[in-house]
Structure 1
Amino acid sequence: MAQVLKDDIRDKILQSALEEFYMHGFTGTVMRDIARQARIPTGLIYSYYAGKEALFEEVLRPVRYDWKTVFREGAGQHGGKFDRLNEREMDCIRNLLAHRKEFIILMDKSADTKFSDEKEKFIREIEQHLKYLMKHKERYDETYIHIIVDNFVEGLLQVMYHCTNKEHALFTMEKLIKMYLYGIGL
């Protein structure tokens, strides 16, 4: 019975932290507000997490990927067609859509944390992946690739912010992916 209560409290803390970090970002969130929303004493949070940084990291866990590995694992799975992502990449996109608030926090609301440059890292990893996929091309414009990838990531974030229905979000994301992959000329 005690374990169930502990899990329930941990879930309340995580859900409250997710909402507070989503609304106020890392710097604007205070532990006292997380505790108030979870309806627990502030000190109880520290029984589960060492501090705000540890709690923030736990909130972001579902959307933290080693993108190099994701892209490397799926590199040969396109079958010569680049009008869609491979299954591994699509699994990641579906997971990001399922955890849209966490992804928004990671990309846009993690200033003053060790994750503050995640958006730039994500863009760089996609750029490297596209350059690898385009290695057979005689010429390609690195500036153009950067612009396309930067716009794609902004589009992905717009889907996360505005498409709260999962089916609509996935449909919109698939259209966005096709548009950018066709547009880059792979």
Structure 2
Amino acid sequence: MAQVLKEDIREKILQSALEEFYEKGFTGAVMRSIAGRARIPTGLIYSYYPGKEVLFEEVLRPVRYNWKSVLIEGAGRHSGTFERLNKREMDCIRNLLEHRKEFIILMDKSGNTKFSNEKENFILEIEQHLKCLMQHNGKYDETYIHIVVDNFVEGLLQVMYHCNEKEHALLTMEKLIQMYLYGIGL
């Protein structure tokens, strides 16, 4: 029975930390506030997580991807048309929608951490992926690709911020993806 209680406490800490980091970002989050949300003594958090950075990493675990591997794995699986993403890419999008707060924290609220450049890295990986896909026709404009990808990532974040219902978010993402894939000329 004690083991169940330990997992319950760990889950309370993670949920409280998620809300604290979502509301205040990494820099503004305070362990004392996380403990208060979890209704536990502050010192108990340190029995599970040695510091705020480790707790932050654990909160972000569901949305930490090697973006390059997702894109590379999916590159050969398109059926000749690019009106939809492949299964691996859509599974990734579904997971991000399932963990939208974590994704928002990772992209917009991770200043002063090792993840502070994650949004820029995500944009860069997509840009490089699109350049590889578009090299076959020899016509692509790096500035144009950067603008499209930057706007796509911002659109993805807007869906995360504003679509609280999962099905609505998924439908909106599918529309956004189709618009960008048609618009970039793939």
Q: TM-score, normalised by structure 1?
A: 0.99
Which residue matches 1:12? 12
Deviations, residues 32-62 of structure 1 (Å, cap 9, x unaligned)? 0000000000000000001000000000000
1:101 Cα deviation (Å)? 0.1
CA RMSD in angstroms comes to: 0.5
* Partner SS for 1:139: coil
**2-side partners of 1:117 and 1:15: how far apart?**
24
Q: Counterpart of 2:167?
A: 167
Structure 1 stretches lacking a partner, 5+ long: none
Moved more, 64-73 or 53-62: 64-73
The amino acid that maps onto 1:62 is P
- Structure 2 distance, partners of 1:153, 1:137, is 25
The answer for the alignment partner of 1:131 in structure 2 is 131
Q: Which residue of 1 aligns with 2:144?
A: 144
Bigger mean CA offset, 70-79 vs 111-120? 70-79
Match runs of 1:35-184 below 5 Å: 35-184=35-184
TM-score, normalization by structure 2: 0.99
With 14-23 and 136-145 compared, the bigger mean Cα shift is at: 136-145
Q: Output the CA distance in 2 between the equivalents of 1:86 and 1:163.
A: 22
Q: Percent identity?
A: 81
Report the CA distance between 1:135 and its aligned residue: 1.7
Q: Give, in angstroms, the shift of residue 138 of structure 1.
A: 2.0
Q: How many Å apart are 1:23 and its aligned residue?
A: 0.2
**How many pairs align?**
186
Aligned amino acid, residue 94 of structure 1: R
Deviation of the 1:139 alpha carbon? 1.4
Q: CA deviation at 1:74?
A: 1.1
Moved over 4 A (4+): none
Paired AA for residue 84 in structure 1: R
**Which amino acid counterpart does residue 151 of structure 1 have in structure 2?**
N
Please list every run of 5 or more consecutive structure 2 residues that lacks an aligned counterpart in the other structure. Answer: none
